[in-house]
Amino acid sequence: MLFRQLEYFVALAREKHFARAAAACYVSQPALSEAIRKLENELKVPLVRRGKSFDGLTPEGERLVLWARRILADHDALIHEVTALQTGLTGELRLGVIPAASSTVALLTNPFCLEHPLVRVQLESSLRSAGVVERIRRFELDAGIIYPDGQNTTELLVTPLYQERQVLIASGDLLTSQPDPTTWADVSELPLCLLNTGMRGRQLLDSALAAHGLTLTPRLEADSVVSLLAHVSTGQWASIVPQTWLRTLRPPAGVRVVELDDPSVTATVALVTNAAEPGSVLARALVEIAQNARITVEPG
């Protein structure tokens, strides 16, 4: 059994298409197909359902792909570990990030890159927490930044980074008659634009308010905090966003930021990595940075 055969097989399981898998591995389709057939012959079981095209993996193939991902991950970890002893850390760190943390991830990746200048970082910032967890388990990501609450983090190392707090942003004109801090009853009377109900930030908000018998009915919903800030900048809208976003994207002129209590809406944001030992030396280095860094997320 060759590592190359396992790489081709994992690529086919991921791409679900022979030609795309071959392109991802920089080989011809016949070469990829022949390598997988040799792997099947060696193991004496069929791994791939073949029709006119790729029809999925057999039950044996589904089991093998789990082992193949682990073997390849351990092989890469070994190479990185040995290389690190000679020249320092090298290779590529694959980091998955939920959208809510895309404005703060630099507080972690910047010191990591300064500490390990030979490491490349591949960042994906449009993932959901569950997707990040699943891809870490499949060894497709080395680490992730997620909302850990409500996620199955068994066999993962969870390193808390900071507490995210939701705040009200609106033009001073909209809030001229409102006290500071504004109550949730006052907020419900404002022309609101919020994240849509499919996004975790909105779900956290709705759940916290529902526990107090409160609901908000926005006039506009979006899937981007940037879109919400753009609407607020017109002076005609109010929104509720993570305070962390205001550290990078400054509130427009004339916009006030108001903290909300009773209830306050907060959530833990954490770094997660595979807890298996010895594991990825790159992931361990990122955890060390996270444990030593003082991540300050307040605006200013």
At 172-219, the pLDDT tens digits run 888 876 666 578 888 888 899 999 988 888 888 898 888 888 889 999
Confidence of residue 85 (pLDDT cuts 50, 70, 90): low
**Chain mean pLDDT for the chain:** 86
The string of pLDDT tens digits covering residues 227-264 is 999 999 999 999 999 888 887 788 877 888 988 888 88
In our burial notation (b when 16+ CB lie closer than 10 A, e otherwise), range 226-264 reads eebbebbbeeebbbbbbbbbbbeeebeeebbebebeeee
pLDDT at 294: 66
- The pLDDT of residue 94: 94
pLDDT tops 60 at residue 272: yes
The whole model's pTM is what? 0.72
- Cα 124 from Cα 111, distance rounded (Å): 18
Domains of the chain as residue ranges with CATH = 3-69 (1.10.10.10), 88-159+270-293 (3.40.190.10), 163-267 (3.40.190.290)
pLDDT confidence bin for 296, thresholds 50/70/90:
low
Distance separating alpha carbons of residues 290 and 107, to the nearest angstrom: 9
